[in-house]
Amino acid sequence: MKLTNECFGKVKKDCLKFIQSQETKADKFKNKERMIKSFLIPLCFWISKKADKKKPYFVGLAGGQGTGKTTISSIIKIILSKYFKLKVFRISIDDFYKTRKERISLSKRVHPMLLTRGVPGTHDINIMLSFFRKVKSKKFKKLKLPTFNKAIDDRFEKKYWYDLNAKPDVIIFEGWCVGAKSEKNNSLKKNINSLEKANDQKQVWRKYVNQQLKSKYKNLYSQLNCLIYLKAKNFSLLQKWRLKQERKLWLNSRKKSNLKIMSKGDVINFMQTYQRITQNMFKKMPKYASIILNLNSNHQIKSAVYRIK
């Protein structure tokens, strides 16, 4: 498929319409057309050439909190579906979080910090592995997959789950720790923030999380056909973006009661549970990700590096 000016006009219109539906008045998305034309359309050409309609092509999309994974993966889906005529299914690793009840049980059995969703070990890895296995089966017919409501910090009722009624050509599996690798045990000894120092003095939590990455999550991520990494400048920038995200969650929620919206202090503490893996990804993921999309401080993609063809 060759991108003509007419085709780009249609792609741009649909993508901008989606972006505008995600914005609040406080949002300032600049250079949207450049992001779509210079980076996301070429990325979709690359994926379309790799996709094999006989079996799903798994695209992992990773990036720290607030990097725009949902927006970018949704735009990729729009382009691949409408202009490459591929059947695309997008889902986040966040949708596979264990229920609040399950995390309470985990926090009592292993470590209190596992009540907080986010790190490897707080997802239902069995559902994810089952999803990957079933969707690749020649006998695949349909599948129901969970959705997670961050506003109440628990899974939606089953009537609101995803219905996957046909085998996709492309599956976009996005999440902050998608593709993350474990650390060496020696590196776990050093506290990297005040939360670890105060609440994980015996390193029980970080060792448990690291072991999850080393085993079950490694098995899951090994099944991805490619890995796209949205790389921000640093962790403090991610904190800034995540605070903005939490504000948006509040503004977009119709029912304000029973919401578990976090304060600025809560967000900072929450992100400290992500910090160790996120910083390890900063260092290591550019060495093995298929494609690195480098972001500037304004949420714009400033460059793309294709590590494999």
Task: Kindly report the CATH number assigned to the domain that includes residue 54.
Answer: 3.40.50.300
Q: Confidence class of residue 6 from pLDDT cuts 50, 70 and 90?
A: low
Of the two residues 4 and 203, the one the predictor is more confident about is 203
Q: Is the pLDDT confidence value at 45 over 70?
A: yes
Distance (Å, whole) CA 165 – CA 142? 4
Distance from C-alpha of 72 to C-alpha of 85, rounded to nearest angstrom = 18
Mean pLDDT of 151-180: 94
pLDDT value of residue 307: 85
pLDDT of res. 32: 75
Q: Quick one: pLDDT at residue 193?
A: 94
- 168 neighbors 160 (Cβ within 8 angstroms): no
Return the pLDDT at 251: 57
pLDDT of residue 295 exceeding 70, the answer is yes
pLDDT tens, residue by residue, 225-279: 999 999 998 888 888 887 877 766 655 555 545 555 567 777 788 889 999 999 9
Nearest to 272 by CA among 211, 182, 192, 184: 192
Domain count, the chain: 1
Q: What is the pLDDT of residues 103-123, one digit of tens each?
A: 999 999 999 999 999 999 999
pLDDT of 128: 97
Output the pLDDT for position 56.
94
% of the chain at pLDDT higher than 90: 65
Range picked from 14-23, 128-137, 230-239 for highest mean pLDDT? 128-137
User: Residue 237 CB: number of other CB atoms within 10 A?
Assistant: 17
Q: What is the pLDDT of residue 28?
A: 44
pLDDT of residue 18 exceeding 80, the answer is no
pLDDT of 14 > 80? The answer is no
pLDDT interval class at 127 (50, 70, 90): very high
More confident of the two residues 62 and 11: 62
In angstroms, the first-to-last Cα distance of the chain is 18
SS3 of the chain? CCCCHHHHHHHHHHHHHHHHHHCCCCCCCCCHHHHHHHHHHHHHHHHHHHCECCECEEEEEEECCCCCHHHHHHHHHHHHHHHCCCCEEEEEHHHHECCHHHHHHHHHHCCHHHHCCCCCCCECHHHHHHHHHHHCCCCCCCEEECCEECCCCEECCHHHCEEECCCCCEEEEEECCCCCCCCCHHHHHCCCCHHHHHHCCCCHHHHHHHHHHHCHHHHHHCCCCEEEEEECCCHHHHHHHHHHHHHHHHHHCCCCCCCCCCCHHHHHHHHHHHHHHHHHHHHHHHHHCCEEEEECCCCCEEEEEECCC
Backbone angles phi, psi at 180, to 5 degrees: -65, 145
Confidence of residue 102 (pLDDT cuts 50, 70, 90): very high
Residue with tokens 């691949």: 80
Q: What is the mean pLDDT of residues 156-165?
A: 94
**pLDDT at residue 255 in the model:** 53
Lowest mean pLDDT among 52-61, 76-85, 243-252: 243-252
The pLDDT mean for the chain works out to 87
Q: Indicate the pLDDT class of residue 7, thresholds 50, 70 and 90.
A: low
Q: How confident is the model at residue 29 (pLDDT cuts 50, 70, 90)?
A: very low
Tell whether the model's pLDDT for residue 190 goes beyond 90.
Answer: yes
What is the pLDDT, as a whole number, of residue 305? Answer: 95
Domain range for 181? 5-20+28-306
Position 2 pLDDT exceeds 80? no
CA 252 – CA 45 distance, rounded (Å): 33
Res 151 pLDDT > 90? no
